[in-house]
Structure formats: structure tokens, C-alpha cells
């Protein structure tokens, strides 16, 4: 299947999922993964995405940020008042912060594969953003098990995440054990 067909498939699968329950099950694993991190970029969810914003209340001492679309790029902004931005996504109105400040980035996607590659909406915002981050920044894909695939088609500009968190497990792509290959 090509990426366009996979996007249609992923959207159809998502419609059948209880995203609220899945997000509640994924958040404890994300809290564990984010332990010791001081500056974390989350995302404001679209209606078909996992809402992980409750983490902002569950992890005291962590400074949270959200992205804004600026032209062809994402910029980083401290969590604060929100307004509807590009593509109908809620974006913070706070001043821009340097992405070098981030310790971790939680990356949205329609689906992920076991190597950490993501299936996004096709505009490339996150791939361009992730390519600019320092290598020590932890990038995490939060994904329902139903949307974790063995492999996705990839392009040269695709940037995989370093960790995957589902409602059932936490994986480090490239370090998957035997139990992490049977999907």
C-alpha cells in the first residue's frame, strides 16, 4: 500500500477506536518515558488524535510547549492561551521559544511502524522539525496498538522517532525483542 492508501486505512481504523480510553491508557507509559525531562513539546490534538494534554497537569515541574505552524515550519511555544491556527489546530499565543530548549518531543501521527517511522498527514512539518533537533532529544510516538505496523513505506526525508508508546507497551525502535515483532 502507498502512503495515501495507508492514510485512508488509518483514518478508518481510528474512527472505530475509543481514543479517549486509549489516551488514558497511554499517558502512564508516557509519564514514565518523560521522567527526568524538563522541557517537553506536546501537540494540541485534532479530533481524530490522542489527547495527551492532561499530561500537563500530571507531570508537575515539567515545562510544556506546543507547536505553531509558521509558513513551512513548526515553531515552539510555551503552553499558554490557545487560538485556532493552521489546519484548525489549536496553537499557543505565547512568544516563540528556542527548540534547543527541548528535552523531549511527543510526535503525533496517523500510524507508526516498529522502526519508528511515522505516517503523518503528508505535509512534512514534523519531518522538517525533527531533522533540526539535537540528537539527544527524545522523540516519542504515541500510538494505539491497532495503528502500529510492521513497516511503512518511507521517503529519504522521513525522520523516525526514538521511542514508541502504546496502551500495551513501550518500544525502542531497532531494539525490539521477539514479542515486539508479532503484529
51 contacts 75 by C-beta, under 8 angstroms: no
d(CA 164, CA 1): 22
Write the burial class of residue 13 (CB in 10 Å: 0-12 exposed, 13-18 middle, 19+ buried): middle
Q: Are strands 90-92 and 82-84 parallel, antiparallel or unpaired?
A: antiparallel
Tell me the pLDDT tens digit for each residue of 134-180. 999 999 999 999 999 999 998 888 899 999 999 999 999 865 444 44
H-state helical runs in 16-95: 19-33, 55-58
Tell me the pLDDT tens digit for each residue of 117-138. 999 887 788 989 999 999 999 9
Q: What is the pTM of this model?
A: 0.90
Give residue limits of the domains in the chain.
Answer: 3-174
Q: What is the pLDDT of residue 46?
A: 87
Name, in order, each residue with C-beta under 8 angstroms of 12's C-beta and a sequence gap of 6 or more: none
- DSSP, residue by residue, 92-150: E-SPPB-GGG-SEEEE--SEEETTS-EE--SS-HHHHHHHHS-TTSEEEEE--GGGEES
Query: How much of the chain exceeds pLDDT 70, in percent?
Result: 95
Which one is the CATH code of 3-174: 3.40.50.10420, 3.10.310.70, 3.40.50.300, 3.60.15.10?
3.40.50.10420
Q: What is the pLDDT of residue 122?
A: 73
Amino acid at each position: 500500500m502507498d502512503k495515501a492508501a495507508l492514510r485512508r486505512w488509518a483514518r478508518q481504523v481510528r474512527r472505530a477506536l475509543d481514543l479517549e480510553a486509549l489516551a488514558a491508557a497511554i499517558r502512564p507509559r508516557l509519564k514514565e518515558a518523560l521522567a527526568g525531562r524538563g522541557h517537553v513539546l506536546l501537540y494540541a490534538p485534532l479530533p481524530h488524535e490522542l489527547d495527551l494534554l492532561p499530561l500537563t497537569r500530571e507531570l508537575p515541574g515539567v515545562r510544556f510547549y506546543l507547536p505553531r505552524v509558521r509558513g513551512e515550519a513548526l515553531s515552539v511555544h510555551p503552553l499558554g492561551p490557545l487560538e485556532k491556527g493552521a489546519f484548525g489546530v489549536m496553537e499557543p499565543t505565547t512568544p516563540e521559544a528556542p527548540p534547543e530548549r527541548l528535552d523531549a518531543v511527543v510526535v503525533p501521527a496517523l500510524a507508526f511502524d516498529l522502526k519508528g517511522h511515522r505516517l503523518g498527514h503528508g505535509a512534512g512539518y514534523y519531518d522538517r522539525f525533527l531533522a533540526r533537533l539535537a540528537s539527544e532529544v527524545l522523540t516519542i510516538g504515541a500510538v494505539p496498538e491497532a495503528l502500529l505496523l510492521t513497516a511503512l513505506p518511507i521517503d529519504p526525508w522521513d525522520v523516525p522517532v526514538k521511542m514508541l508508546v502504546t496502551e500495551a507497551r513501550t518500544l525502542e525502535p531497532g531494539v525490539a525483542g521477539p514479542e515486539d515483532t508479532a503484529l
